Structure 1
Amino acid sequence: MRYLITTLLVSIFFISCKEKTATSTQKISKKSSIQYATGFDIIIEGNQKKLIIKQPYQNAKQTFTYLLTNTTSIPKKTIKIPLENVVVTSTTHIAMLELLHLENLLVGFPKTRFISSVKTRKRIDDGFIAELGSAQEMNTEKLIELAPKLVIGFGLNGNNKVYNTASKNGILTVYNGDWLEETPLGRAEWIKFFGVLFGKEKEADSIFKSIETRYLKVKELAAQITNTPTVLSGNLFKDVWYMPAGESFIANYFKDANTDYLWNHTTGSGSMPLSIESVLDKAQDATYWIGCGLFENKKDMLKTNSYYKAFNAFKKSNIYTYATNKGETGGLVYFEKSPTRPDLVLKDIIKITQPQLLPDYQLTFFEKMQ
């Protein structure tokens, strides 16, 4: 499911811990360390630390607040930190665990074949990470048997029977909405979510700061260019072209790379369903086509729709895909690691469109389509 959502450029929980209204008239100061992400917050309020999930899934109308504590005896509906083990449900979580050197605490994952990381794949092969089925229909018996301290969930809505069953058996789930962030740095900042849960806040802050610095530096480099190339993205799916909307994180990459993304001025943070005729009318002469779904080569593209050959970017082989960069069992490296390394994604786009700016850089996620 996560793969389909990402391909179409469109990736939680039902138990909430409501903040109690302060009965004291004395004002309690609040501190937050979150700068770019809009879907979560970490608040220090008085002597309490809280994790707030503000956007657990699409169109969520409620937030979830969790009290974090390191005490042995904890009230109900709190999270005891640091976590001793965990089950995660998206490959983006794998990359963040590894950046914090926490992969040894992962005990289960749905659809392990999608994991591309060599390090975590070895732990799967060695029997340390259980296969749990699919994210939306996990093997609850195995999950309950594992008894993880927490499930970090992913979902399209707040109605998940697996998480409900887990909750009844004392296993808490916290939704991670990193995939809903509209900016590249907003997605990367979710590493702080993992940092606070595992007692690695300083490490997470340091890692994010380093990524942010590199991202802003290369963005500044691209801003020097005055001749901005035109860019097209997306692809057809059942005769509908899904184009990244102008406020989406993909469009923000193109903007920060100082390109002329032809749908940059549209509204919306997801994808826009368009007809092939309207896309061809606007982007037939686009210089670059960056991101074309799961297509690995031009031949396969033409098998699905002959319209593709009408684009100049197709004719001149200026199409770049992330679908060829795979792990041992077919998991795509881009899906797993790009949210944690937006600086490298931005470098890729700049290398493609303005190669003279990064003469020694080699593409990380994308490859020129043959």
Structure 2
Amino acid sequence: MRRLQLIPLLLLCGCMQIAPPPRAAWPSVVVGVDGLSDNLDAACVAEHRPGVDLFPHKTTFTHSVQLQVSYGPHYKRVRFTPSVGTGETLDYLLVQCGTPVPAHGPHEQVIQVPIQRLVTGNAAMLGALDELGLVDRLYGAENTRSATVPSVRERIAQGLVHDMWGYGHASIESVMAVQADVYLSFYSAYPQGNMHPRLWELGVRAIAQADHHETHPLGRAEWLKLLALLTNREALANARFDRIEAQYLRLAALAATAPDRPLVMAGFAAGRDTVETFGGRNQRARLIHDAGGRFALADDARSSSLVFERFEKVYARAADAPVWLGTLGGQASVATLVDANPLHGWFRAAREGRVFAWDQGYTGAWAYPFQDQGMTRPHVQLAEAIRALHPGLPLPPLVTDTPFLRRLP
């Protein structure tokens, strides 16, 4: 029986040969009774002093409906409560390295921080890694061919980022072989598609990543704070997020002054009868609202991406929408979008040529900046959405060299 139990694991680990990179221990720092002036983002504690606060810089989640954090003197407790109906709550205990692990529940995942190695099963985190100066800790991504972040592409070119070979759901054997401190596991609204339970069984510290299920674009942007919690870079994440939030709220207030709120279609026909879009509580629906539009499916109470099995249900609500904000990426024009599926041509926005896609800079399947740089730039997305819905509304200049939205010719 014991031999039979080992066979699947041997097969699992033998499919691919990935040599883990050499690991050097963090240096140890002596902390006095007065504590620290900055969090230790690349060091451990030499000698634990009970009660001394090791995290002078802390963070909190104000827009995310899925993440919570509380601090102890030498540890952090993070709770993830999915906004989709999977019925689970996941707890993570982040412990400053060099200090003892406090009492915790049997299902609470323990992670030593600051981490050194990270693998992500969701490209959305790549831009956030760059913004927090953490690209040097990236050792694996679900698809290295689709990365657009310059610093990430450079690291990939150096052969330092292993390809996990899986759009969102990377292969388990490659995740194990890299020996990362943390694997950010793409979180699906369908429990049977999630990898984290299996990874935990194999000893991989997997953290569910569900920024795409947030109900507000700023809640999605706050997922960069999760990276900060894992690396003790809360001060930098707070400063970055505060700027994002201020710009987003100013733009939303301006869009609220628009004289009308046009109806908006979003998504694409995925077959003869199905339409892929998102629920009315998803952060993309909120973006449309904050840009001064009315999402055609705003009354749908779900926060996830959706596949409607009946085309007529979406068509009845969005047929007369004058603007289509977000459709199938990589289409050269409205004509090719309609060629891809003639059902697209039934919508007013397609007939009148007001169709937009978040695929500026498209170079191939899943390879465009919106995918790996959009999470922490909701203010850029909002400005572009406002211009699409209200071209006459004067907007302040928004400095960015990475636009996301493209109007199909």
TM-score over 0.5 for the alignment? Answer: yes
Give 1:143 deviation, angstroms: 3.5
Give 1:63 deviation, angstroms: 1.9
Cα deviation digits, residues 126-156 of structure 1 (max 9, x gap): 111112222535251x433422222121232
Give 1:159 deviation, angstroms: 6.0
SS in 2 for 1:340: coil
What is the rounded CA distance, in whole Å, between the counterparts of 1:89 and 1:49 in structure 2? 23
What is the rounded CA distance, in whole Å, between the counterparts of 1:32 and 1:325 in structure 2? 34
Q: Are the structure 2 counterparts of residues 53 and 266 from structure 1 closer, same or farther at C-alpha, using a change threshold of 3 Å?
A: closer
**Matching residue of 2:319:** 284
What is the rounded CA distance, in whole Å, between the counterparts of 1:317 and 1:112 in structure 2? 34
**Matching residue of 2:403:** 364
CA RMSD of aligned residues (A): 2.8
**Matching residue of 1:293:** 328
Give 1:262 deviation, angstroms: 3.0
Cα deviation digits, residues 5-62 of structure 1 (max 9, x gap): xxxxxxxxxxxxxxxxxxxxxxxxxx9721111211111257642122222x843323
What is the rounded CA distance, in whole Å, between the counterparts of 1:143 and 1:312 in structure 2? 46
State percent identity of aligned pairs. 21
Contact 1:39 1:181 (C-alpha < 8 Å) held by counterparts:
yes
SS in 1 for 2:375: helix
| 1:92-107 matches, cutoff 5 A | 92-107=124-139
Q: Of 164, 170, 184, which residue of structure 2 is paired with 1:152?
A: 184
**Matching residue of 2:299:** 265
**Matching residue of 2:44:** none
Q: Of 375, 378, 396, which residue of structure 2 is paired with 1:342?
A: 378
Query: Which structure is higher in RCO with an 8 Å CA cutoff and minimum separation 6?
Result: 1
| 1:305-324 matches, cutoff 5 A | 305-324=341-360
Give 1:338 deviation, angstroms: 1.6
Q: With structure 2 as the length reference, what TM-score do the two structures score?
A: 0.74
What is the rounded CA distance, in whole Å, between the counterparts of 1:342 and 1:174 in structure 2? 23
Q: Are the structure 2 counterparts of residues 309 and 215 from structure 1 closer, same or farther at C-alpha, using a change threshold of 3 Å?
A: same
Cα deviation digits, residues 160-209 of structure 1 (max 9, x gap): 89656754664321212212111111111111111011110011111111
Are residue 252 (structure 1) and residue 286 (structure 2) matched? yes
Q: With structure 1 as the length reference, what TM-score do the two structures score?
A: 0.82
Which deviates the most, 142-151 or 355-364?
355-364
**Equivalent residue letter for 1:61:** G
Q: Of 49, 55, 61, which residue of structure 1 is paired with 2:76?
A: 49
Gaps of 5+ in 1: 1-30
SS in 2 for 1:345: helix
Contact 2:140 2:161 (C-alpha < 8 Å) held by counterparts:
yes
Q: Are the structure 2 counterparts of residues 38 and 162 from structure 1 closer, same or farther at C-alpha, using a change threshold of 3 Å?
A: closer
What is the rounded CA distance, in whole Å, between the counterparts of 1:105 and 1:279 in structure 2? 43
What is the rounded CA distance, in whole Å, between the counterparts of 1:146 and 1:279 in structure 2? 44
Give 1:286 deviation, angstroms: 2.0
**Matching residue of 2:33:** none
Give 1:266 deviation, angstroms: 3.6
What is the rounded CA distance, in whole Å, between the counterparts of 1:335 and 1:258 in structure 2? 24
Q: How many pairs align?
A: 338
Contact 2:280 2:301 (C-alpha < 8 Å) held by counterparts:
yes
SS in 2 for 1:116: coil
Contact 1:288 1:318 (C-alpha < 8 Å) held by counterparts:
yes
- Which structure has the bigger radius of gyration? 2
What is the rounded CA distance, in whole Å, between the counterparts of 1:81 and 1:48 in structure 2? 9
Give 1:354 deviation, angstroms: 1.4
Gaps of 5+ in 2: 1-57
What is the rounded CA distance, in whole Å, between the counterparts of 1:37 and 1:320 in structure 2? 27
Which deviates the most, 346-355 or 170-179?
170-179
Q: Of 42, 50, 68, which residue of structure 1 is paired with 2:94?
A: 68
Cα deviation digits, residues 196-247 of structure 1 (max 9, x gap): 1111001111111111111000000111112222222222111212343322
What is the rounded CA distance, in whole Å, between the counterparts of 2:186 and 2:406 in structure 1? 29
Contact 1:325 1:366 (C-alpha < 8 Å) held by counterparts:
no
**Equivalent residue letter for 1:260:** R
Which deviates the most, 307-316 or 177-186?
307-316
Which deviates the most, 354-363 or 125-134?
354-363
**Matching residue of 1:33:** 60
**Equivalent residue letter for 1:59:** G
Contact 1:87 1:152 (C-alpha < 8 Å) held by counterparts:
yes
Give 1:106 deviation, angstroms: 0.5
